[in-house]
Amino acid sequence: MFHTDPTREKFRSVMLAQIAKGGQIAIVSFVANIFVGIFEVSFGLYFGSLGLSADGVHSFVDAIVSITVWLGIRYSQKRADGKFHYGYYKFDAIFSLFAAMIMVASGVVISYTGVIEYTTFKHHVISVDASVIAGISILIAVLLAIGKNRYAKSSGLVSLKTDAYNSIKDATASIIALVGIAATWYGFYGLDPIAGLIIGAFVMVAGYFSVRSSSLILADAYSNPEMLETIKRIATSVPGIQGIDDLRVRRSGPFLTVEMHIRVDGNITVFEADRISKEVTLSMREKILSLGRVTVKPEPVQTAPSHPARQ
């Protein structure tokens, strides 16, 4: 059995409600990208547009990313147990890393196809209908990006943030495909396979940054000076604290794990030191919703005892 802090559980339930909404939009994104991918690949093959076909493959990759994000969110909601003492929160970053690796691999395949197609392409004009499909893909990607980004900010899920960035990239890729298609109307036939090549490079670059972001989280790296200053400001505002030492922060899924040492008067009782520590924790939870486990260790500071004035 693991000890549960009632205050922590209260704020945790609010946070998990936001996470659940993030899971819902990940499923919506999965279904939408599957349908968009089917339409783009089908019409891309029918009209002979590599740019549209590549964007369709890109949509299938986005669908895989969205389903892995959903799996990561599901795991991140599980409570700590006898095997995972600190919970399952890092599964969010693990699934995000897996999705990013798929993005890199698919980008290599798409780019390679673009090179082959460019060297052997046939001169033809691509139908206006193909551009309509690309336009619909742009609209869907923008709407998904807005929704994902909204819930990524409220829940703090790194995988959902990655997926939101992926949708922005998807919209840009669809714009590139649209430009490549339109270029063939004016005799620039080679721009369509070049559009496919660019989309593949786009996917690889985005996948690289996603791999980097997820890897840093798994390695407990944390670089947010503003948040560190906020934590220090909140903690030092509690009466009885003379300073803070050894502040450490790391991200576990949607939550921040915080450890700190606080300097308190060495002449106070253990009960008073414990009260101050709990007040620090409560004050932080009220102002920072994404806090998970908080460990506050009071350290006594020796002060000279006061002596009554001599007569």
Residues 6+ apart with CB under 8 A from 153: none
Report which listed range, 167-171, 273-277, 292-296, is most confident: 273-277
Judge whether residue 240 has pLDDT over 80.
yes
Report the distance separating Cα 190 and Cα 181, nearest Å. Answer: 10
**pLDDT recorded at residue 1:** 45
**pLDDT recorded at residue 286:** 81
Q: Which helix (H) or strand (E) holds 299?
A: strand 291-301
Judge whether residue 95 has pLDDT over 80.
no
Please indicate whether the domains covering 6-218 and 225-301 agree at the CATH topology level. no
pLDDT band per the 50, 70, 90 thresholds, residue 310: very low
- Among residues 118, 95, 98, 96, the alpha carbon closest in space to that of 200 is found at 118
Indicate the CATH number of 6-218 among 3.40.50.970, 1.20.1440.230, 1.20.1510.10, 3.40.50.620: 1.20.1510.10
- Residue boundaries of the structural domains of the chain: 6-218, 225-301
For residues 288-311, one letter each, b for 16 or more C-beta atoms within 10 angstroms of the residue's C-beta and e for the rest, the string is: bbbbbbbebebeeeeeeeeeeeee
**Topology given in CATH for the domain delimited by 225-301:** Alpha-Beta Plaits (3.30.70)
- Average pLDDT of span 38-67: 82
The residue with greater pLDDT, 7 or 85, is 85
Q: What is the mean pLDDT of the chain?
A: 79
Record the pTM: 0.66
Compute how many other C-beta atoms are within 10 angstroms of the C-beta atom of residue 36: 25
